Chains A and B, each alone.
Chain A
């Protein structure tokens, strides 16, 4: 495991122990040595060198000046193409910068490249990308493992130390699950904390930007940099963003942790139940009160998600029609034929599957039975959490029901793949902040993750619990 640290690097840059150029050349070298992992959809050494030149001529003080950051290729960037890992956005050059990436640029960070993902963030293994699989850097030779998904490229970029932090998006677990698979830290903040402006939309009531990093301190620094109100996203929240890093406090004495009984599910490997118990024991030793809680509608979260997310996707992805940008089919004898062939040839199998499901559950005669029903169950799931948080300060669960699995496993059974998100989806439906931190290994020495959930906009409590667990584990 790498011991890189953004916090330490900022100090080293500050004391001139290392220059911005030296730092980034070190990263460029590693990126080139690890091309076989297929972490990046877009990488250009010249582009990185140009950014270094610009920063060297810039005398202003900036919080992340010279820090190499990888960007999930779902964020629109003016300096690099944006594909959402889809053929339909091949050769798309955004005319604007996403809110989150603009914030990172304003802080002086260097974008090393655009990372691979599941097509339009739909998947849990980064294996639906038009640009091929990403390989988990923790794979043993001859046995390539999936990095998780959808933000698998970003998680792998941090795990292989190809950057000091990366952006991701999380709709049902797309940051937390790959973080767990790759042994890195991944945080999805509260819905509304970071503007969605400039992120290719998947399911708008669930999509949220977040951060991958080498440790919890770094995550707290980076999340603060990308959070904030933005009037161009109507669901962006007008809340004060605390200095998460300055306020980090690993003293949890007197706090209460909720342990939801519904997260003990049949078929979960022993090792995962074990690390969960270990985490609870560590917290107990720190003076945290253990409270058994119930989230009774947990088992309905996945089917609810797999109605709501495809429904919203079918609407959001209607814009890809071959008219304004991206791919257009050659077989275009009429306007309708142009749409139908463009979308047939431009979208991959999982994306089409979700558009079709979404169109069905929204169609006349089925809307109430599926979509409305799912929105009502979603309310019950959110209420479960609201009740639980009256009795506890944060909730601790495993992040994923398994360690990283071999590439291409579960490919042919969509439902089996969807079950990867069993522990992450409920908090997504409720819009809650959640972090995954590495905590223990399985029998093959692969990392396992612990998930910490907090109340709306209580990222500070999530970071505090995470840093406390992390420090006791190291």
Chain B
């Protein structure tokens, strides 16, 4: 078994997703079955194969490095769950 209780807790922590005990158990089961299934990739010989990260077949164009100030901070803050004096507000971080 690749994923145990410790591993799922570690991944959940890295993902910043709180899991209760029931969920942890479910995800341990799901993730193990998915990881067992993807194991079949080990049958494929990938020696000397370059990993493919960008499928785009055209050359990526460059653009002029010019600033573009839309000055829409008020509009953007409209969507914020909490804001204070023109900033996003979050729970206190420093005591």
Contact = CB atoms under 8 A, between A and B. Distances in A.
Contacts of A456: 57
A321 interface: yes
Interface residues of B, number: 52
A355 B79 contact: no
A237 interface: yes
Binding site of A, secondary structure by majority: helix, strand, loop or mixed?
helix
Interface in A322-353: 322-328, 332-341, 343-344, 347, 352-353
Interface in A6-48: none
A335 B56 contact: no
Contacts of A344: 17-19
Given A332-B91, A376-B50, A431 B57 contact: yes
B84 interface: no
A379 B53 CA distance: 9
A192 to B, nearest CB: 5
Contact of B34 (A234, A306, A363, A373): A306
A377 B50 CA distance: 9
B45 to A, nearest CB: 9
Contact of A338 (B35, B42, B90): B90
A385 to B, nearest CB: 11
Contacts of B56: 191-192, 235, 237, 431
A343 B16 contact: yes
Interface in A84-101: 91-93, 95
Interface of A: 91-93, 95, 191-192, 205, 229, 231, 234-235, 237-239, 297, 299-300, 303-304, 306-307, 314, 318, 321-328, 332-341, 343-344, 347, 352-353, 355-357, 359-360, 363, 370, 372-380, 382, 414-415, 429-431, 456-457
Interface of B: 3, 7-8, 10-12, 14-19, 23, 27, 30-31, 33-35, 37-38, 40-44, 46, 49-58, 60-61, 63, 72, 75-76, 78-82, 88, 90-91, 93
